Structure 1
Amino acid sequence: MAPSPDPHHEPALSSLQTEALSPLAGVMDRLDTLALCTSFNREEARAASSVAACAPAIAALVDDIVPRLRTGGRLVYVGAGNSGRVAHMDCAELPVTFSVDPTKFVAVVAGGVGAVLEAVEGAEDVLDDGANQMHQLCLTAQDTVVGISASGRTPFVVGALEVAKLRGALTAAVVNTRPSRMEDMGVTHPIAILVGPEFVTGSTRLKSGSCAKQVLNMISTCAMIRLGKTHGGLMVDVSANNEKLHARGRRIVRQVCKEKLHIQTAGRHVRHGSVADEDADIDALIERCGGSVKLACAVGLSGLDLNIAKERMEEAGGRLQTFLDNLEQESLQHTPASDNNNQEQEQEEYFLCVDGGGTKCAVSIATRKGTIARATAGPCNLNSVPLEDVIAQIQSSTAEAVASIPNWHEKSWPRFAKVWTGLAGLHHTSQANTLASRLENLFGVSLQAGTLRLTCDTSLLSSCLGVDELAEGCIALVAGTGAVATAFKRSTACEAVQVGRTGGWGHLVGDEGSAFHIGQQALRTVLASLEENQGATRSLSRLEAAVVRHLDCEPKDVLSTVLGSGRDLPKHRIGAIAKVVTELGFAPVDPDPQALSILHDAASCLARLVSPLSSERICDPGKSILVLSGALMNVKPYRELVLERCSTLGLCFRKTITIEDASAYGAEFLSRTSPMAVVGGQRSLRSMEAAVGEHMSHKCNMELRGIETRLQKQPVA
């Protein structure tokens, strides 16, 4: 039996926020009852606002839990004392409320189930007991273990989390102090809800307990909603197995179906028309559906045969809204007015590519004929943009692109044969699994089936390996707001595999050679010159005048204009100055020497990004392609300057390709390399080759060759 952690290595109990004296401690004994109750309520109200401050962290945990629950994983709460009781209460309600398997939601309480009703002294202090409980559960990577401890140091919970981490389970810690041992363990999702001292010092059943209940309720409820266990705020997955739940189930069916309720009678389904026997009919419908209120809603709304409705619900992942959306799409596809359009559209295969960068999210939709729609939205860098915002930008830009598809009159999106999503910051995020699950649900594709690719944004450019079958690899150099170089090699399975990466550190640490770097250097030059000449009567230099004009401010206000509040972030304002510098430095007549010097230095920085990747060990330049992309690489003089600097370093590549629109290039790559669907006869590879040669719509300075071989090999980036 392991002892409690060494007290010399733990914060003193008295130093914990939950053990501090309440500000009311000195006067509490003299307050009358009303004042006591009012003060107590005021303190408890802090719990909700403290939990609200942690909503992003809780949402991230829920997003990671949902795909694990969907694939059979378990949600395990671990707590001692009041924390254990709160955990047990949350788990106990889930099977009844949401018809979930009770073995998938487990509360592990120090001292066993008996400790829920009566305190078991000392149970929380045994480190090994928590560890042993986890060993008995045989945890896997699909499971989630959430430790709850107001102090953040309960030995029973610490021991459980240590084993959970070793088993590869997703881990979270819900605590009310900071710093805490549980946070310092390196759990995947630390959630510290700082509510301050308790009304009665050390009584963590009060505010800390309220926080724990709110957080666990939030985790389980939001996870159930994401899993489709509710519909329109109604508990449609409730099992009607007692009188109260029978009445609730009947009410839910009536609320969901409204006047659209179908009742099947004597082998026929008819729309219900009588109120008198409605309750009996709904009860019979629920009973026929095995007590499943959700299935009863599906049958009642659609009028489908029970078995067919059940199959359709399974296809919809158990989500009633998805089931209804699919029905609506089928209905739209079979309206006479759109039959001709639908026949044409059904024969088309649609391919979607998302290029999510630090400045914008670019989306392109292609068919076998080429790119047919494009749209853009806001930034999608996972290092600086919350996951929910990234999903929203992707959804918004895709919706706009779909709306611009020629002759597309449907309310819903087309079914995408393949989707490739390339996002900046993917290498550094811990939410890749959550992101993949969200994209699968959004687009109706599957990572496992190969219809969804999720990579970093630079990986979109690896598709350029298809330009030259003899090329062994490629180096993609992207220079926009940021700057990064990524090396790819062709594997024996004809897949493009990343083998190296330089840069991409972000504007606070690196990004030399990027638009931000150029703007920053120009800003420094201007500010230094203005400071040096303050008080003097002189004309502004060309660079100074251009920057001041661009910012639309007085010279003395340059810095405050760049760093002040506004719609754009300072990073983007600084990056936008790069356009001023390129216009001055690359002016056809009398280029500005200050601007040109900045551009020369920036180009050298980009060449130095490429250099470490240009070796026989990573990518031999003589056998590789250099791919240039990003807003700066579309500025021809700057691109030529970068290539000249690469040449100076002895970097001579087999080919150089410039990609103006990575999303369009990626979408067309998917359309070229995906096997043909058999629609109205099989098209030949030769006709496909001709179609690609005729309809390539992106800007690329190389010919496409070897399409026949690539279609057979179907490389994956």
Structure 2
Amino acid sequence: MTTSPSGVDALGQLQTEAPNLLARSIDTLHTLDLCKAFNHEEERVCPAIACCLPVIASLIEDLVPRLQAGGRLIYVGAGNSGRVGFMDCSELPVTFSVEEDQFVAIVAGGSEAIIKAQEVAEDSEEDGSTQLGKLQVTSKDTVIGISASGRTPFVLGALRVAIRGGAVTASITNATPSAIGSLGVTHSIVPLLGPEFLAGSTRLKCGSAAKQILNMISTCSMIKMGKTYHGLMIDVRAKNHKLLARGRRIIRQVYRILQDNGHIFDGSIQDPYTIGDSALNNLIEQCGGKVKLACSALVSGLPLDAAMHRLELVNGDFHLFVESLQSSVSIQTPEEPSHSSEDLFLAIDGGGTKCAVSIASRTGIVAQAYAGAGNFHCVPIDVLMEHIKSAVTEAVSLIPEKPKQPVLTKMPKFAAVWAGLAGLQHANRQECLTQCMEQMFGVSAENGTLRLSSDSELISAHIGLDDSVERGISLIAGTGSVATAFKQDPNGDVLQIGRAGGWGSLLGDQGSAFDIGKQAVQALLTSLELSQGTDKDCLSELEREVLSSLGHCKDGLLSRILFPGTETKKTLADVARVVTTLGFRAEHPDPQALEILTSAARSLVQIVRPLAKKQICDPARSSLVLSGALMKIPDFQSLVIKMLSQEGIDPFKNIVAIDDPSSDAALFLARRVSESI
């Protein structure tokens, strides 16, 4: 029994054990009223989970790359919590064609406890440690402990082992503070539901919440891993009559989706709506019950082994499989532009808010265009590739004297392609991205006609084009911030020799638009807290303008900024426009805004400092290249340059601001090829 230091039973003090306010009347309610009361209590589950969605989303983002790398998802629970975990695990292999040993449920009392309650089993912390210890968890694994009370010894023991093993850890509890909450798990999910309909019966609201959360974690993870297509369970394994019928429907629905979007490329492919059920059953059976493989073979017209190989090339992602079919058509039937295919060079600058592309010939830039976000970690690979394709297709259509052509025949074969994508330096699926790029543009990383890098490396092209220096530092201040040092080698290539910042919004991004917006919102929230209990408006001009930009309403402001579905980083970065407008206005600049901007400029200088030394980039002999949305503001540029001097960094030989790194990158590609002839 758990007791407090004074010897009093502590379990009775838990939120999950408290009596419900309905307790006095519940026994006398008519049946319909009793059902209404029960339903009313269950309605509390979804709002409570909604408050936890940012934590759940963060857990999923940690989980997905680990699953893709072969790591395991392990649920640990006792009683109803353990059975909920087991139920979720048992559905995944059939629904999403995953390996059974990759999804594990550890239930106190073992498999017998799944069928019949084993109440005593949950009280052994040592047993929890032993059971998880047998799995020898590593940093590739993710362990989720489920305990409504937040104190179940079996779960505590397992989580301690998981933490020591370096696994990503999470907990689902319904009480705070709690023993599990004090362990320091990576992600603590705490939907607070209040007393149960029946005091202490945590199979009710707490059980409902745990099931919904586990469903959300596993289902959303599978979607992020490409296990679905337009809301269809395309990776289902058809092993019985019901699933075989579902498999036939999925094949037909996928065909119709692709047909409606103009993605059926071979006119000889037979419409599965005209194929009998027995023929489709045979196809699914030939694929070993794998509906996705059956879809791939049918819509591509490829033999099974060829369809399987192409699926493997894109890590089983059907979106990318379809993209690869489009790319194959583009490459096989290119429409010759006015320039020869040997003298077009493509550079792609993929950032958090937009993807910019430039196409150059050996005489200069011939076309530029833009599309959606190009950050590798912000959008799925298939969406990223679609944005890139859209921007490149638009740019090709703008090449002088290039006639407009249908979408699938616009892509020329480029002599060289350089794609600089935000987040690529931390990516774990570069091989898949490389294959997609090679297929789309007909280039090769192996022979050097395709180069993939982070977006910050694109700026090295400007240094490569500047014959007056051999070294330089790029300083990017947009949604995020990063500084990178480069040098030219004797062959004319530009190599990265140092990097500072670029840690992301959680740990860094000082001096960025995100940082500026965050400081402004922090000031607003502080003033709102100070004004509590008074009728006085304590907001400054800046704070009032920030509040206006966020929708005027003070109530629930923080929740709206952090609410799931809100792009928090972009929301805060957008606030920076308010700060720069007030801080840099011609007359009476706002002092609070100017203070934030000065702080941001000083932070950027501190990012430059580790690189601005003789061993890396001697400022007197190097260029400083400024880029990013903030650096497009002349007053902010001036402020950064002023801070460089104030912080004691020697003057740079050149300081230049560039608006579009992709244009320099395209020109650099053209120059390198010209020099090699």
TM-score with structure 2 length normalisation? 0.72
Write out per-residue CA displacement over residues 263-300 of structure 1, whole angstroms, 9 at most, x where no aligned residue.
xxxxxx8736996x812222222222233222222223
Whether 1:577 and 2:578 are equivalent positions in the alignment is no
Write out per-residue CA displacement over residues 630-657 of structure 1, whole angstroms, 9 at most, x where no aligned residue.
5665566875676567557664345223
Distance 1:34 1:348, change over 3 A: same
d(CA) in 2 for partners of 1:294 and 1:278? 19
Which of 371, 394, 409 aligns to 1:403? It is 394
Q: CA deviation at 1:83?
A: 0.9
| 3-state SS of paired residue (1:236) | coil
Which of 523, 547, 564 aligns to 2:548? It is 564
Whether 1:375 and 2:365 are equivalent positions in the alignment is no
Q: CA deviation at 1:90?
A: 1.1
| 3-state SS of paired residue (2:126) | helix
In the TM superposition, 1:188-587 aligns within 5 A as 188-257=186-255, 271=270, 278-331=276-329, 339-341=335-337, 348=344, 350-356=346-352, 361=354, 363-367=356-360, 369=362, 372-375=367-370, 387=378, 399-400=390-391, 402-405=393-396, 406=398, 407=402, 409=405, 411=407, 417-422=417-422, 452-454=452-454, 461=459, 466=464, 474-477=472-475, 486=483, 488=485, 495-498=495-498, 500=500, 511=511, 560-561=544-545, 563-565=547-549, 570-581=575-586
Distance 1:562 1:184, change over 3 A: same
Q: CA deviation at 1:623?
A: 5.4
Larger radius of gyration between Structure 1 and Structure 2: 1
Which of 21, 42, 45 aligns to 2:43? It is 45
Which of 24, 27, 35 aligns to 1:26? It is 24
Q: CA deviation at 1:464?
A: 5.6
State the superposition RMSD in angstroms. 5.3
Write out per-residue CA displacement over residues 412-450 of structure 1, whole angstroms, 9 at most, x where no aligned residue.
796994432236xx99xxxx658989988997899x999
Write out per-residue CA displacement over residues 334-367 of structure 1, whole angstroms, 9 at most, x where no aligned residue.
56xx6435996698553312244xxx64633445
d(CA) in 2 for partners of 1:296 and 1:318? 13
Contact 2:516 2:596 in 1 (8 A): no
Please, which runs of 5 or more residues in structure 2 have no aligned partner?
260-267, 525-539, 552-570
| 3-state SS of paired residue (1:496) | strand
Quick one: which amino acid aligns to residue 349 of structure 2?
C
Q: CA deviation at 1:172?
A: 2.0
| 3-state SS of paired residue (1:140) | coil
| 3-state SS of paired residue (2:24) | coil
In the TM superposition, 1:110-189 aligns within 5 A as 110-189=108-187
Quick one: which amino acid aligns to residue 573 of structure 1?
V
- Structure 2 residue aligned with 1:58: 56
| 3-state SS of paired residue (2:188) | strand
Contact 2:360 2:667 in 1 (8 A): no
d(CA) in 1 for partners of 2:258 and 2:310? 18
Q: CA deviation at 1:510?
A: 7.5
Contact 1:516 1:576 in 2 (8 A): no
Contact 1:68 1:74 in 2 (8 A): yes
Write out per-residue CA displacement over residues 451-479 of structure 1, whole angstroms, 9 at most, x where no aligned residue.
54347x6x665666646799796554556
- Structure 2 residue aligned with 1:686: 676
Identical residues among aligned pairs (%): 36
Q: CA deviation at 1:157?
A: 1.9
User: How many residues are aligned here?
Assistant: 606
Distance 1:136 1:624, change over 3 A: farther
d(CA) in 1 for partners of 2:9 and 2:675? 70
Q: CA deviation at 1:217?
A: 1.6
d(CA) in 2 for partners of 1:201 and 1:24? 10
Contact 1:98 1:224 in 2 (8 A): yes
Contact 1:362 1:663 in 2 (8 A): no
TM-score with structure 1 length normalisation? 0.68
Contact 1:77 1:108 in 2 (8 A): yes
Please, which runs of 5 or more residues in structure 1 have no aligned partner?
262-268, 525-555, 586-591, 677-682, 688-717
Contact 1:364 1:667 in 2 (8 A): no
Distance 1:6 1:76, change over 3 A: farther
| 3-state SS of paired residue (1:271) | coil
Quick one: which amino acid aligns to residue 126 of structure 1?
S
- Structure 1 residue aligned with 2:568: none
- Structure 1 residue aligned with 2:262: none
Write out per-residue CA displacement over residues 312-346 of structure 1, whole angstroms, 9 at most, x where no aligned residue.
222232233332333344345556xx643599669
d(CA) in 2 for partners of 1:442 and 1:183? 43
Write out per-residue CA displacement over residues 662-714 of structure 1, whole angstroms, 9 at most, x where no aligned residue.
533674488479xx9xxxxxx56434xxxxxxxxxxxxxxxxxxxxxxxxxxx
| 3-state SS of paired residue (2:71) | coil
Write out per-residue CA displacement over residues 222-279 of structure 1, whole angstroms, 9 at most, x where no aligned residue.
2223333333433333333333333333343344446999xxxxxxx8736996x812
Which of 70, 73, 90 aligns to 2:71? It is 73
d(CA) in 2 for partners of 1:616 and 1:21? 70
Q: CA deviation at 1:187?
A: 2.6
Write out per-residue CA displacement over residues 397-424 of structure 1, whole angstroms, 9 at most, x where no aligned residue.
984565244257464796994432236x
d(CA) in 2 for partners of 1:165 and 1:634? 45
Quick one: which amino acid aligns to residue 204 of structure 1?
T
